[in-house]
Structure 1
């Protein structure tokens, strides 16, 4: 006998009753919404409009409303928009009974399916209801503004946005489904407080290729933090939360929005160059699971997770291509954006690499909009000095000095709710030793730079200081903005030689700067009673583009980054000596490969630096010929190094010059050549020169090298 009745009547009643009872037991939270409904039950003549994304629990809430209404002995009519024809006649046919019932409670679910009836419902149907009737409308889309703009409805409609469950309620839901405690964290990380995602995660197996045949989240406590949603869970959530989209372009726009921290039209345009970015952005902002933020649009967490998981599994190459296009766009934005817009680009760039398998990143991805950045104004001085006093009274003198002399160096971070100053930072530019003596931290930074690799003409260093109130320290939205501002300054500063981040030696979070490849070189500063570590970086040795590439690549989804050595930082005298050495051995590969110029900014990133150095010198000699005032020095260089005169005497004879005149012209040419290249080393090539160098280096190098005879060593040796 397969089933033995233990108690007669055990299975009495309908299956529907048992289903309802199980659903009621699994219901958690929503105390505020239930209180609003109970109040409306007492007062009557009200409309509650519940809106929220799919799967957030609107239907379950309506069922609980129905239970409360039944307990109050009210007449209940529940309509499902999925089952109704979108016409006034069809709606009246289903809802006619409530028109004559003072105690009626009309519950309308899935209203987005009959959204076209909203104006008719407000203007024609609802005014006919008895004054004691109560109506609840639930749908994915927010009601239009006319409900609140109409003076009549403004006091009678209550609009409630149904969000995710709080963490305690979400954990209670998992408990009700029998999920082991050790599995709560990975499930909550994936689903947040989204009820449908939590329920599917609790009931479905984890990992690649699992079938929905056993409740792994319930039974396999060993899964622990390894739990990830199975593909069928992702597919179900996509159907329920996102549904059908108008076109592949719209799906791609959703995927871009899920991949970036916050999406703008610029990002959409870069990721989807063949589509109408403005139209796609407008469509995104109307979706119920898309929210506006300070830097653009972003999806609800669970929608973001499932879109990311689906694309990464379904189209790995498409995912990688999208990632690359977005990264390129954001990198360009950081360098080109207006100052007020740069933080969004920096945050979005780092967000692309969240959870990529690297060491923990010093960012938190919640709380956007809780604080905002502002520039320093004279009226902010009192607030800033008070903050500095709270953090370290020894810094007050330095802050007072710099906010007068470099007010533009400061950024303030205030709480959106009340304007309270939560933190501040400063990017202090130092061009001279005298300037650096203003405070002990700046003086130590200058001395450290001078001892390791002094500044060259036109270069400067920067000292980065920050002050953050205690309850905003650690991983917080304030620290996000402060760190993003530092990165923006790293990447946007021209002629920056060194940067130093000043961190108190007793600050437990000081190690976060190693994430940014900033290191303690050993020289600490004493300011007041506090000792400061100076986390340093030489931007001439590791340039900003290379630094950023190293920081962002090597993630789990990325190919290993090609190792590039640090660049040599030469003084002008060392640079000029290296130019002469390179000219002396222009045809000798081994000597050119060992020349320090191959490790300078001039040739950074070249696959064959020895060949590139030869091409650079030859092209620079030719470029000198374009200057009508450099004709004589150019001809001396050309005959000596490009036409292969075997001796200085032979070169002078070819030019029809005396030996002394030839040597004077040759020396002048080498000096002009060195000055031009030194300028490019310090400031970078102009676009024309850069294009020519790249073209020459990448086209036909080997052929040109192998077809060349040896340049005279004696000619340059006798120049000195």
Structure 2
């Protein structure tokens, strides 16, 4: 029977073969790490086969038993040398001397599997064993869940010789390559590829499950892998901790305790540190994304009501954390909440599929080096009459993208694949005095689109800009690995994550499919212009959590379970942020519903009159409430209550430049929000 080809490990095998063929190769250490079932042992086996083909001596050790002491380690090597290569130690030769001599005779590959306990030997290995092989050609490949301890990488002599290989789930292309040998029907392969998380063990079990059950299409992912991963936990009591962690982004123990019925104890803390899928980050503990997803799905299927309650609890914690987080952290929280509530997003649309697992790379802002690839995506999109290019003049798309990259690069949202290559983008113009001429040149419809705001935007300094007009968008429709709609779904979510930083977004569309999707996603219809619908979403005045609840409510997918209620239920009061304070001041005496989110059940104040009274007291009292200052009071009164002068005149009145006045205004709004929260 032919052996099924091994998929993946391209980089790891390349580095291995590079060492094998280097005539001047020196003794080197490979640190192979990854969660259970990710393929660590399979990679070691591939290295063993490669070493055998090159006639290198190959020795295999099991770290679970042969790393307890230096004697056990050397005895294991001696046994393998004798049984595999007929090398027998002379009676009068010390064991260490014999092993070092044999390993130094020829190029040798030493494979250590299950190396979790190598820390017991690291002092001896680094100071006594490896130095004797420094001039030999020995490759030590050690596989463990968390990789070699930091001691190895910081060692002055051996640190430079350590190469780290953290194994990742299969990419979509690798999943497809694996499935080609499965014997399953093509449509079933495609469905598995679209839904798979790329975990090798999970993928293998899915294929075997499909073969044995003969299903036409997979109904779900077998929960056996979740149980397999949980068996790595040293105590069953950790299940409650891991489930709570699956609903949170990286969190410190104090935050995690707020999700638990009983706080973490010392044993829990130590046990978590030993799990391969618990990652340490600057923000705290985090579960490997695959494990978190599996745990959530498993818990939601087994205990749906309990899962919804726990998810609402997580949402309440994130809702509380969001206003006080920096912009980068806010984007991280927004992405996490979208993942938690992905089941409520529209399942499919002509422009976006939100149920697929697309393997995207690190979230990074636009870089000038991206521009040629974005132009290629745009040219293909224009040729196929696809995606959003309706606002700009025909034939001017490439020139407009060049201008946006030069004058409004912060308006470009890029989605990258795992290798960092752009696979989708949207390009928005951040509206201010320097970019308004771009609209005049490339989008002649802009005066109608912006209305009375156009004139004030022509005077707005760049540092005060907060409105983004989306002009272009494209996805890589040439990729056979992902459908354009799958990449489109990721682009839309990434754009929303970017906008949660406090932007207002505007766009136009004549496509009924896109218009329907924008409506579901909480955009406001601003009317028609030239046969196109004007759309706006305003994250300057709408909190992200409130927007998320709107999306859930519009989908009608909550089944009446109360997901749309203020997170945490009656009695928990929302915390106000800078954008909330600004909206309250702008709409303080409006008769509409703008102030509704801040009063009543879930709001900070009982009635609108109570809220108005509190704001007026804070801005007029003789001794300002901390942290407001008299200058804060004056700036906010003159800007939002008196409103007798424009921003330029106010800046002159306060003897400030326009930029300095804007900065003081933002700080005053932030301090007003803190005072309203008091």
Question: Does the 8 A contact of 2:30 with 2:162 survive in 1?
Answer: yes
Question: Does the 8 A contact of 1:81 with 1:109 survive in 2?
Answer: yes
Q: How does 1:284-433 map to 2 (within 5 A)?
A: 288-289=276-277, 299-356=287-344, 358-360=346-348, 366-372=359-365, 392=392, 411=411, 413=413, 424-425=427-428
The secondary structure found in structure 2 opposite 1:136 is strand
The secondary structure found in structure 2 opposite 1:355 is helix
The secondary structure found in structure 1 opposite 2:360 is coil
The secondary structure found in structure 2 opposite 1:142 is coil
Q: 1:60 to 1:35 in 2, by over 3 A?
A: same
Is 1:119 equivalent to 2:123 in the alignment? yes
Question: Displacement, 1:41?
Answer: 4.1
Question: Does the 8 A contact of 2:470 with 2:505 survive in 1?
Answer: no
Question: Displacement, 1:349?
Answer: 2.0
How far does the alpha carbon of each residue in 1:175-203 deviate from its partner, in whole angstroms, 9 at most, with x for none?
A: 44444433324444554332211222222
Question: Does the 8 A contact of 1:183 with 1:221 survive in 2?
Answer: no
Is 1:550 equivalent to 2:550 in the alignment? yes
How far does the alpha carbon of each residue in 1:201-230 deviate from its partner, in whole angstroms, 9 at most, with x for none?
A: 2223xxxxxxxxxxxx0144444142331x
Instruction: Select 1:52's aligned residue among 33, 54, 59.
Output: 33
Q: Which residue of 2 aligns with 1:666?
A: none
Q: Which residue of 2 aligns with 1:559?
A: 561
- More displaced stretch, 511-520 vs 78-87: 511-520
Question: Displacement, 1:346?
Answer: 2.0
Q: 1:561 to 1:419 in 2, by over 3 A?
A: closer
Is 1:244 equivalent to 2:233 in the alignment? yes
Question: Displacement, 1:524?
Answer: 0.9
Question: Displacement, 1:551?
Answer: 1.4
Q: Which residue of 2 aligns with 1:108?
A: 112
- Select the structure of larger CA radius of gyration: 1
Q: 1:218 to 1:475 in 2, by over 3 A?
A: same
Is 1:484 equivalent to 2:513 in the alignment? no
How far does the alpha carbon of each residue in 1:409-453 deviate from its partner, in whole angstroms, 9 at most, with x for none?
A: 9645579999999655456599xxxxx99997664356599xxxx
Question: Displacement, 1:62?
Answer: 2.2
The secondary structure found in structure 2 opposite 1:224 is coil
Q: Which residue of 1 aligns with 2:219?
A: 226
Q: Which residue of 2 aligns with 1:17?
A: none
The secondary structure found in structure 2 opposite 1:79 is strand
| Structure number with higher relative contact order (C-alpha < 8 Å, ≥ 6 residues apart) | 2
Q: How does 1:633-648 map to 2 (within 5 A)?
A: none
The secondary structure found in structure 1 opposite 2:549 is helix
Q: Distance in 1 between matches of 2:41 and 2:403?
A: 62
Is 1:534 equivalent to 2:534 in the alignment? yes
RMSD of Structure 2 on Structure 1 (CA): 6.1
Q: Distance in 2 between matches of 1:85 and 1:605?
A: 61
Q: 1:83 to 1:353 in 2, by over 3 A?
A: same
Q: 1:366 to 1:550 in 2, by over 3 A?
A: same
How far does the alpha carbon of each residue in 1:100-129 deviate from its partner, in whole angstroms, 9 at most, with x for none?
A: 322454221111133322332232222334
Bigger helix fraction: 1
Q: Distance in 1 between matches of 2:200 and 2:413?
A: 35
Is 1:153 equivalent to 2:158 in the alignment? yes
Q: 1:192 to 1:119 in 2, by over 3 A?
A: farther
Q: Distance in 1 between matches of 2:445 and 2:272?
A: 48
Q: Which residue of 2 aligns with 1:263?
A: 250
Q: Which residue of 1 aligns with 2:175?
A: 170
Question: Does the 8 A contact of 1:521 with 1:534 survive in 2?
Answer: yes
Question: Displacement, 1:80?
Answer: 0.8
Give the count of matched residue pairs: 534
Q: Distance in 1 between matches of 2:539 and 2:178?
A: 52
Question: Displacement, 1:90?
Answer: 1.7
Question: Does the 8 A contact of 1:373 with 1:413 survive in 2?
Answer: yes
- TM-score (norm. length: structure 1): 0.57
Q: Which residue of 2 aligns with 1:718?
A: none
Is 1:93 equivalent to 2:75 in the alignment? yes
Q: Distance in 2 between matches of 1:408 and 1:277?
A: 50
Q: Distance in 1 between matches of 2:544 and 2:144?
A: 49
Question: Does the 8 A contact of 1:197 with 1:302 survive in 2?
Answer: no
Q: 1:557 to 1:48 in 2, by over 3 A?
A: farther
The secondary structure found in structure 2 opposite 1:163 is coil
Q: Which residue of 2 aligns with 1:202?
A: 207
Q: Which residue of 2 aligns with 1:644?
A: none
Question: Does the 8 A contact of 2:51 with 2:109 survive in 1?
Answer: yes
Question: Does the 8 A contact of 1:353 with 1:555 survive in 2?
Answer: no
Q: 1:440 to 1:532 in 2, by over 3 A?
A: farther
Question: Does the 8 A contact of 2:59 with 2:111 survive in 1?
Answer: yes
Q: 1:273 to 1:425 in 2, by over 3 A?
A: farther
Q: Which residue of 2 aligns with 1:184?
A: 189
Q: How does 1:399-548 map to 2 (within 5 A)?
A: 411=411, 413=413, 424-425=427-428, 443-445=447-449, 464-468=468-472, 470-471=474-475, 475=488, 479-489=492-502, 501-505=506-510, 509=514, 511-524=516-529, 533-536=533-536, 547-548=547-548
Question: Does the 8 A contact of 1:464 with 1:501 survive in 2?
Answer: yes
How far does the alpha carbon of each residue in 1:648-682 deviate from its partner, in whole angstroms, 9 at most, with x for none?
A: xxxxxxxxxxxxxxxxxxxxxxxxxxx9xxxxxxx
Q: 1:84 to 1:600 in 2, by over 3 A?
A: same
Q: Which residue of 2 aligns with 1:633?
A: none
Unaligned runs of 5+ in 1: 1-20, 205-216, 377-383, 431-435, 450-460, 491-498, 526-530, 565-574, 580-595, 625-674, 676-682, 692-720
Q: Which residue of 2 aligns with 1:33?
A: 12
Q: Which residue of 1 aligns with 2:664?
A: none
